Structure 1
Amino acid sequence: MRRFLPDGFTLSLIATVLLASVLPCRGAAAQAFEVLTDIAIALLFFLHGAKLSREAVVAGMTNWRLHLTVLASTFVLFPLLGLLLKPVLSPLVSPDLYLGILFLCTLPSTVQSSIAFTSIARGNVPAAIVSASASSLLGIFITPLLVGLVIAGSGQGAMSWHAIGAIVVQLFIPFVAGQVAQRWIGGWVRRHATLLTFVDRGSILLVVYTAFSAAVLQGLWHQLPLPVLAGLVAVNAVLLALALLATRYGARALGFGTEDEITIVFCGSKKSLASGVPMAKVLFAGHPLGLIVLPIMLFHQVQLMTCAVLARRYALRRTA
Structure 2
Amino acid sequence: MKKLLQVLSKSGLDGFLLMIATMILLAYFLPWPGMVKEPVSLEDIANIGVSFIFLFYGLRLSVEKLKSGLVNWKMHIVVQLTTFLFFPLIVLVFRPVFVSNGFELLWLGVFFLAALPSTVSSSVVMVSIAKGNIPAAIFNASISSLIGVVVTPIWVGLFIASATGSFDVSNIVIKLFLQVLLPVIIGITLNSRFGAIAEKYKKQLKYFDQAIILTIIYTSFCKSFSEHLFEGFTTLELAGLAVGMMVLFLVVFVCIGLISRFLGFSDEDRITVLFCGSKKSLVHGTVMSKVLFQHSTITGIVLLPLMLYHALQLIAASIIAQRMAQRKEIQFLQKYSV
State the TM bucket, normalised to the shorter chain: over 0.9
| 3-state SS of paired residue (2:71) | coil
* 1:84 match: 93
Q: CA deviation at 1:118?
A: 0.3
Which residue identity does 1:180 align to in structure 2? T
* 1:213 match: 222
Q: Is the 8 A contact 2:223 2:297 kept in 1?
A: no
Q: 1:92 to 1:16 in 2, by over 3 A?
A: farther
How far, CA to CA, are the matches of 2:286 and 2:95 in structure 1?
23
How far, CA to CA, are the matches of 2:239 and 2:64 in structure 1?
45
How far, CA to CA, are the matches of 1:83 and 1:158 in structure 2?
20
Which residue identity does 2:325 align to in structure 1? A
Q: CA deviation at 1:224?
A: 2.7
Q: Does residue 33 of structure 2 align to residue 27 of structure 1?
A: no
Q: Is the 8 A contact 1:240 1:303 kept in 2?
A: yes
How far, CA to CA, are the matches of 1:93 and 1:48 in structure 2?
38
Q: 1:168 to 1:87 in 2, by over 3 A?
A: same
Given candidates 274, 284, 289, the residue that maps to 2:283 is 274
Q: How does 1:295-310 map to 2 (within 5 A)?
A: 295-310=305-320
Q: CA deviation at 1:73?
A: 0.4
Which residue identity does 1:234 align to in structure 2? V
How far, CA to CA, are the matches of 2:223 and 2:157 in structure 1?
24
Q: Does residue 303 of structure 2 align to residue 293 of structure 1?
A: yes
Q: Is the 8 A contact 2:83 2:116 kept in 1?
A: yes
Q: CA deviation at 1:90?
A: 5.4
Given candidates 236, 242, 251, the residue that maps to 1:227 is 236
Q: 1:255 to 1:163 in 2, by over 3 A?
A: same
Q: How does 1:195-274 map to 2 (within 5 A)?
A: 195-274=204-283
* Alignment RMSD: 2.1
Which residue identity does 1:308 align to in structure 2? S
Q: Does residue 202 of structure 2 align to residue 193 of structure 1?
A: yes
Q: CA deviation at 1:221?
A: 3.9
Q: Is the 8 A contact 1:41 1:278 kept in 2?
A: yes
Q: CA deviation at 1:31?
A: 5.7
| Structure 2 gap ranges (5+) | 331-338
Q: Is the 8 A contact 1:148 1:158 kept in 2?
A: no
Q: CA deviation at 1:255?
A: 1.0
Q: 1:108 to 1:223 in 2, by over 3 A?
A: same
Q: Does residue 61 of structure 2 align to residue 52 of structure 1?
A: yes
How far, CA to CA, are the matches of 2:39 and 2:116 in structure 1?
27
Q: 1:193 to 1:93 in 2, by over 3 A?
A: farther
Given candidates 11, 21, 37, the residue that maps to 1:14 is 21
Q: Is the 8 A contact 1:147 1:159 kept in 2?
A: no
Q: 1:155 to 1:199 in 2, by over 3 A?
A: closer
Q: 1:29 to 1:210 in 2, by over 3 A?
A: farther
Q: 1:66 to 1:156 in 2, by over 3 A?
A: farther
**Per-residue CA distance 1:30-62 (angstroms, 9 max, x = gap):** 961111001111110000011111111111110
Q: 1:133 to 1:92 in 2, by over 3 A?
A: farther
Aligned residues: 319
Q: CA deviation at 1:223?
A: 2.9
Q: CA deviation at 1:310?
A: 0.6
Q: Is the 8 A contact 2:129 2:321 kept in 1?
A: yes
Q: Is the 8 A contact 1:164 1:283 kept in 2?
A: no
Q: CA deviation at 1:220?
A: 3.7
Of stretches 159-168 and 88-97 in structure 1, the one that deviates more from structure 2 is 88-97
Please give the TM-score of this superposition, normalised by the length of structure 2. 0.89
| 3-state SS of paired residue (1:255) | coil
